[in-house]
Amino acid sequence: MSASNPQLTLAAAIALVRAKGLVVVKTARNTGINSDYASYADVWEALKPALDEAGLSVGFLPGSIRKDNEGWVQSLTMEVSTAADMRSFTFEIVFPEGNRGVNITQRQGMAHTYGRRYALVDFFHIITGDDDDAQRLGMQLRDNEAPTAAPDAHWKDFCYVPVFSTGTLETQGTWANLADPEDPARILGDSAPNALARIWNRHPDDAGLNAWRAELIQERATAKKLTDWNQVRTTYKSLHLPEAFTDCTGDHLNSLALALK
């Protein structure tokens, strides 16, 4: 039964959300294929009030990863629950093709963002369209923006995977769900690596961008068989890296990423 609506079963709570016919305006732009889409942040912003009203909670858990003829494939499980009941739905996502400069962690993050977005859209019968679609369906237009990190946020809280034992929880959020500082409507995780690099040069202390840089460092260090932070510090003494990886500044991360390339 729902905490907000004690009389609702899980099925009834799901039906209540679906019956609202939620509409999400496409505010994000995929410059690679020249098309608009509804970002994960847009979908979540439109869905969250309806979930709260129905007493529903939704979360995603990553599962096993394998490589087959399709490429890298990972299972994701969406859990939909009330205070008294829960159902889980498992599906698979395929990592996008890697362009030059795109590491496997970035491809995984992009796939997760894509998978979660469309799982919510399909499961809760959300309509995605442009401004005209929303007006025709009687929806109030909103300025949908992706979440941004607090000014004092630390980059480790937005790493998608543990980096040199910094630790992370998906529920803390990921850099993929943070907005581009130069365009708040754009999701960092949907940006091309070269675009991220250009943005980072202008915003060296941005938590989301530094999380991306930290993940890049982890992959490059692993490729060089450097799996321990002390090994990295010893190998690159000239960079004067701090004793703890989490004490790295944006400049440290940039210098190390270049040294490991």
Query: pLDDT of the chain along its 261 residues, tens only?
Result: 344 555 679 999 999 999 998 888 655 444 333 344 467 777 888 899 999 999 999 998 888 888 888 788 889 999 999 988 999 999 998 887 655 456 777 778 778 888 888 899 899 998 875 444 434 444 444 444 566 777 788 888 777 667 787 765 443 456 766 778 877 666 776 677 777 888 888 888 888 889 888 888 988 898 899 988 999 999 999 999 999 998 999 999 999 999 998
Query: Angle 150-154-155 (CA atoms, 0-180°, nearest 5)?
Result: 110
Give the containing element (helix H, strand E) for 133. helix 131-136
List phi, psi (to 5°) of 233.
-60, -40
Return d(Cα 24, Cα 13) in angstroms, integer: 20
List phi, psi (to 5°) of 76.
-125, 140
What contacts 12, CB < 8 A, 6 or more positions away? none
What sign for the dihedral angle of Cα 151, 257, 214, 103?
Answer: positive
Tokens 């847009």, residue located: 42
Domains of the chain: 10-136 (3.30.390), 155-260 (no CATH)
Cβ atoms of 166 and 246 within 8 Å: the answer is yes
